[in-house]
Structure formats: structure tokens, C-alpha cells
Amino acid sequence: MFEPLGDKECCGCQACVEVCPKKCLQIGTDEEGFAYPIIVDEKNCIQCNLCNRVCPIKKNKIIPQLFRKAYYGYSTDEGDLLKSSSGGLFAVIAKEYQKKGYYICGATYTNDFKVQHQFVAPDENVEKIFSSKYAQSDVANTFAETKRLLNQHKNVLYSGLPCQIAALKLYLQSTYDGLITIDLLCYGVQSPKVWDYYLNSYHKGKQPKSISMRSKHYSWKRYAMEIEFSDGTKYIKSKNSDPYLRCYSKGLFVRPSCYNCHFKGFPRVSDLTLGDFWEVNELYPNIQSDKGVSIIIPNNERGEDILKNIESSIWYDEIDVKRLKEMNIQYLKPCNENPNRRAFFVGVSKQERFEILAKKYAQNSRIKQVTYGVKKFLYRSGLWENMKPFWNLCKNIVSPKSKRR
Ligand SMILES: Cc1cc2nc3c(=O)[nH]c(=O)nc-3n(C[C@H](O)[C@H](O)[C@H](O)COP(=O)(O)OP(=O)(O)OC[C@H]3O[C@@H](n4cnc5c(N)ncnc54)[C@H](O)[C@@H]3O)c2cc1C
């Protein structure tokens, strides 16, 4: 019999729903728009217990992985780099493995811009999977599809958040040589309802044609929301101006179970982990980072093979693992709940305007506002590149590296 977890535990991976042979479970959404399994047909249950056995929270059995080395790097193809969130490593890997005949699965947008996992066949364009989408992805029937393909001796590269990869592995119930998994460093996943609300209220009456939540129009670090509409107009606002990205950066609509994430730190669940190397210039001041740099962590020999296979298409170097662990606490510990989270969701349910919600709950401090204003001016006047070393020096005097985080 299915034993539901509370909202502080269930990560919404959908493995229990997908595995039930009698379709006794279905996905429903709560008032915040997060997906949870619900029992729809108890009478049909045959007590196989598969639903409980595939749950990555109940069976948090992470296979110990060898974590020896970590790297940082980026794709040498500028086109891919610009279409990706950080160093474009996923783009390089996906293309390389497509050439080897792999089916690639990852998060993309549906026609109405909901976030969903989909498969891309070896001869299809894989670009729709590139770049981060900040709303929880519906894995739909991709676990079953992965199993079907693997059983037909086809190869699959599945990419997702660590909880999704853990769920996939439990769902499959056996290991397959033809499967490669990639997970992301993740601080938490966001409410699909809030994403929907942003698109349909803040951009009311407009029909998006393409969306990037991590546009590098300004730079990698000053990423932007970039939306092209079907009427030919374009919206670009940086993470400090766009209300969705501002609220996102304050963690206002993160899934409750992320505060209790079981997949932080090491060992990791996948063959290879990717993340943003935000601190790159603090460790390596001379690395050119405007277009993005990724952290690359091969978690086992398969992960190391992936890196070897793409060596000629990337620039990369080793990073001191101890320093990496010290630098970014998000790798190791779940995020904290924003005290305004509840009030934010009440605002969404009352359909308060998104810009008002951002003003109320994601206001930057006076000093940050002034800093952003000056930076924007320098950027627009073309002085930014020359002023950058002086800027970083001032930043380090006001807030020394050792005291940050
Ligand atoms: C919700 C979320 C939170 C993240 N949090 C952090 C963080 O705190 N620190 C950090 O260093 N990095 C984080 N990342 C990862 C980071 O944004 C980049 O994805 C990563 O650095 C890889 O970049 P890339 O340029 O190699 O590839 P990209 O092209 O940017 O990555 C593409 C991959 O991301 C997957 N993806 C995109 N959106 C989703 C989604 N909603 N759910 C599941 N998979 C998705 C795609 O399937 C694809 O495989 C997060 C990503 C997401 C989606």
C-alpha cells in the first residue's frame, strides 16, 4: 500500500506514479503548484509495493561513487556557450553522444512554455534541452521510455536534477551499460504555478516564441530573462530587474522538500555533475568568464570517460576539490526557507501583480541598488571592461572574499 510522504519530504519525482502497474496513483498539484502523487484507485492495488520501493526519499540508497577530481571549463564553441546557462558543457556532451547514437533526455519547454522532460532522438536538434529552466520539470513518461529504449539495446543519456536521477535509477531497478546520467548542482526547484503566473500576468496578452531564463545578453553573471514574442517584440531584463528572476534569487517559491534535500553533497547520484562556477574569478582571476564557466565533477569511471570523449571540444582544467567544497555551501547543504515565502504565495493566490510581489519580497538593499545602477551605467557606456579590475578591488575591500557566504 502506498505510503504518501508529506510536502517536507516528497520531491515530486513521479517515480511512484510511473511504476504502478495498476495505475492506482496519479499526479496532482497542491495550492502552490507543486506535483504530488495521489491515490486514485485503492481497490485496484495488488500490494506489489513497487511505489514505495522506487521512492528516492524512502530508499535513499545512493550507490557510493568515487569522487576523486573536479574540473572547471567551458565549450570552445561560442554558439553553444551562448545557448547554455554556464560553460555549455551539457551542449558538448549531448552533441557528442548523439553522434554515438544516444537518445538524449532533458528539460525543455512545451508549446505553452511549461517545463517538461522530453527525449531527443540521435538525428534531432538537441538545442531545446539546453539551458536552465527555473520551474520543476514534469518528467512525464520519460522513466518508462528510458527503460523501453534500454531494453531495446538503445543508448540513453538522461539529464536532470539529482532527485530525478536518483528516482530514475530506482525506477529502472537494474543497471544498464547503455545509460549515462548527468545531474546538476541544485539549490532548489521552483513552483510551476508561479512560472505560469509570471508568464500569464506580467506578460499578459503576449505569445512567447522562445524563452531563455539564463540569457547572456549582458553577461553570464548578470544573466537575464529574454523572451521573444510572436508579434516580433523582445523582452530582456537582467536578473536584478526582471521580477521573476528577482523573486527566484531570493528563493521565494522553492519546493518545500528542497529545504530537506537528501541529495546534497557527496557522493553524487549520477555519472557526471555539472554546475555554475560562480567563484571562478576569486580562485583564478585571469580566466575569461563573461560567457560562462562550469564546474565538472566526474563521479565515477563513466563520468571520467565522458570528459575524455569531449576533451577536444572544451577548455578545462583541474580544480582543488577541497577549495571547491569550501567555496560554495550550496553544494553541501540544503537552502533555508525564505521567511516571506508564505506571504509571497498568498500574494500569488490573490493575483497581486508580479512587480508588486517583487517589490515587497525581493527588494534589494539600498547599497545593492546603487551598485547595480553604477554597474549598469558602466556596462552601457562601454567602460565596464576597463573598470572591472578596479571594481573587483573595491568589492574585495568592502566585502573581503574570506568573509563572503
Ligand atoms: C532548478 C535548477 C537549479 C540549479 N541550481 C544551481 C545551483 O544552485 N548552483 C549551481 O552551480 N548550478 C545550479 N544549476 C545548474 C546550472 O544552472 C547549469 O545547468 C549547469 O551549470 C550546467 O550548465 P551547462 O551550461 O553545462 O548546461 P545547460 O545547457 O545550462 O544545462 C542543460 C541541462 O539542464 C537541464 N535542466 C534545465 N532545466 C531543468 C529543470 N528545470 N529540471 C531538470 N533539469 C533541467 C537540461 O535537461 C539540460 O540537461 C541549477 C539548474 C537548475 C535547472
Quote the ligand 1 centre to 390 CA distance (angstroms): 31
User: What pLDDT does 364 receive?
Assistant: 75
Ligand 1 centre and the CA of 126: distance in Å?
A: 15
Cα 275 to ligand 1 centre (Å): 7
Pocket of ligand 1 (CB under 6 A): 84-91, 106-107, 115, 129-134, 137, 159-161, 184-187, 189, 274-276, 294, 330
Q: Which atom of ligand 1 is nearest to the CA of 104?
A: 49
The alpha carbon of 364 and the centre of ligand 1 are apart by a number of angstroms equal to: 25
Q: Using CA positions, which residue lies closest to atom 28 of ligand 1?
A: 131
What is the number of helices (H) and of strands (E) in the chain? 15, 13
Position 68: which residue type? R
Q: Residue whose CA is closest, atom 44 of ligand 1?
A: 160
Phi, psi angles (nearest 5°) of residue 4? -65, 145
Q: How far is the CA of 240 from the centre of ligand 1 (A)?
A: 20
From CA 225, how far away is CA 99, in angstroms rounded?
Answer: 31
How far is residue 296's CA from residue 277's CA, in Å, rounded to a whole number? Answer: 9
Which residue reads 555519472 in cell numbers?
A: 271
- Would you state the cell numbers that stand for residue 204, as one nine-digit string? 499578459
> Among 118, 133, 184, which residue has the most ligand 1 atoms within 8 Å of its CB, making it the best to mutate?
184
Say how many Å lie between the first and final Cα of the chain, rounded: 44
Report the nearest-CA residue for atom 16 of ligand 1. Answer: 275
Q: What separation in Å is there between the alpha carbon of 304 and the centre of ligand 1?
A: 20
Write out the DSSP string of 121-152: -TTS--GGG-S--SS--B-TTHHHHHHHHHHT
Cα-to-centroid distance, 183 and ligand 1 (Å): 8
User: Which atom in ligand 1 lies closest to the alpha carbon of residue 184?
Assistant: 15
Is the per-residue pLDDT at 369 higher than 90? no
Question: What distance in angstroms lies between residue 132's CA and the mean position of ligand 1's atoms?
Answer: 4
Q: Which ligand 1 atom minimizes the distance to the CA of 190?
A: 1
For ligand 1, atom 3, the nearest C-alpha belongs to 186
pLDDT tens digits along 286-307: 888 889 999 999 999 999 999 9
The Cα-based distances of 95 to 104, 122, 184, 363 in angstroms read: 9, 9, 18, 40
Atom of ligand 1 nearest to the CA of 107: 47
pLDDT for residue 400: 56
Residue 134 alpha carbon, nearest atom of ligand 1: 1
- pLDDT > 70? residue 200: yes
Q: Which of 328, 252, 390, 403 is nearest to 86 (CA)?
A: 328
pTM of the model: 0.91
pLDDT class for 65, splitting at 50, 70, 90? low
Q: How far apart are CA 171 and CA 50, in angstroms?
A: 9
Pairing of strands 314-319, 70-75: antiparallel
Listed range (132-136, 178-182, 237-241) with the worst mean pLDDT: 237-241
Cα 366 to ligand 1 centre (Å): 30
Cis geometry, peptide bond prior to residue 162 (ω within 30 degrees of 0): no
Which residue's CA lies nearest to atom 34 of ligand 1?
132
- Identify the weakest region by mean pLDDT among 192-196, 223-227, 282-286: 282-286
383-392: per-residue pLDDT in tens? 877 787 787 7
**DSSP-based three-state secondary structure for 379:** helix
Band of the pLDDT at 323, cuts 50, 70, 90? Answer: confident
Confidence band for 153, pLDDT divided at 50, 70 and 90: very high
pLDDT at 100: 97
pLDDT at 402: 44
What is the atom index within ligand 1 of the atom nearest the CA of 277? 11
* Cell numbers representing residue 381 in the block: 557606456
Which residue has its alpha carbon closest to ligand 1 atom 43? 160
Cα(159) to centroid(ligand 1), Å = 9
- Whether the pLDDT of residue 328 is over 80: the answer is no
* pLDDT above 70 as % of the chain: 94
- Report the separation in Å between the CA atom of 205 and the middle of ligand 1, taken as the mean of its atom positions: 29
CA distances from 321 to 262, 324, 327, 342, 403 (A): 21, 5, 10, 37, 20
Predicted local distance difference test score (pLDDT) of residue 29: 96
Give the confidence band of 404 by pLDDT, cuts at 50, 70, 90.
very low
Lowest-confidence pick of 36-50, 59-73, 139-153:
59-73
